[in-house]
Amino acid sequence: MTDTLARGSLTTRTYSVVTECLRIQSSARRQSRLAWLFGQDPVLPDARPWYRGALGELEVARTLRALGPEWTVLRCTDPAAEAPDLLLGPAGAYTVAVKNHSRQRVWVGPAELLVNGHRTNHLQDARHHARRLSTQLGVIVTPIVAIVDPATLALKPGADGVEVLAASQLGRYLSRRKPRFGPVPVPAGWEAYVPGDARVEGRIARLKVEVDAAWRRRVGWIALAVGIVTILTFAAMLGA
């Protein structure tokens, strides 16, 4: 992307959220047969918020790795800043904030983003980071909010300059952008990296298989219970 950065010289950075999720989950005991049968969630309560974030971190990381060599992915070196990733490429400069709202209803209007009817600060935060970087870089930085696995994603026109999309659409969105300007220098306080760690990816993938299987068993038991109640109610009506 710049004269000072070559794709092959970038470091691969271990996932922070995925790693923390696995660290907490490592203390989990083996489930009892009864708990397994009834689909108890294998993720520990303390690890659940980290698990949801880990899925988003993985999905976006796969997209970023698939970008061509003309793109550079950067991360703020100050973890306290809680800044989104910064992408620099021929189609411009973008911030990418990943928000995990799996199986939740997301509604986006001109001034707010609602999750299951509740207001969030996603749009405000995205604009804040993009404006600060625009001033620092001297170019327009477009903020992106990538939603992981939403149940629904309703977009109303005019989200005030913030691109809101499903995380699975991020690669397609970036690939369709037209070239805008030449190389942009890496800003101070940011470092280039390539997201990825095959070892932790495999571990979180195995955990996801267990979580999804447990969810399907719970749904199966609920469907069975509803079916039994319906049959008994129908039988009672016939016998009345």
Per-residue pLDDT of 27-71, as tens digits, reads 999 999 999 999 999 999 999 878 877 887 787 788 888 887 788
Q: Which percentage of the chain shows pLDDT scores above 70?
A: 91
Closest by CA to 215, choosing from 51, 62, 56, 63, is 51
pLDDT value for 120: 94
* pTM summary value: 0.70
Does residue 45 sit within a domain? Answer: yes
Residues 107 and 238: their CA atoms lie apart, in Å, by 45
Token readout for 220 is 């199966």
What domain range includes position 218?
7-195+202-239
> pLDDT (tens digit, 9 = 90+) per residue, 140-186?
999 999 998 888 999 876 567 899 999 888 888 988 888 776 777 78
Q: Looking up tokens 């038991």, which residue turns up?
A: 221
Per the structure, the count of domains in the chain is 1
Judge whether 11 lies within some domain. Answer: yes
In a domain, 137, yes or no: yes
How many CB atoms lie under 10 A from the CB of residue 155?
14
Run of H or E residues at 162? none
List 236's β-bridge partners, or say none.
Answer: none
CA angle 186, 2, 59 (to 5 degrees): 70
What was the pLDDT predicted at 67?
A: 81
Q: What angle do CA 12, 16, 18 make, to 5 degrees?
A: 105
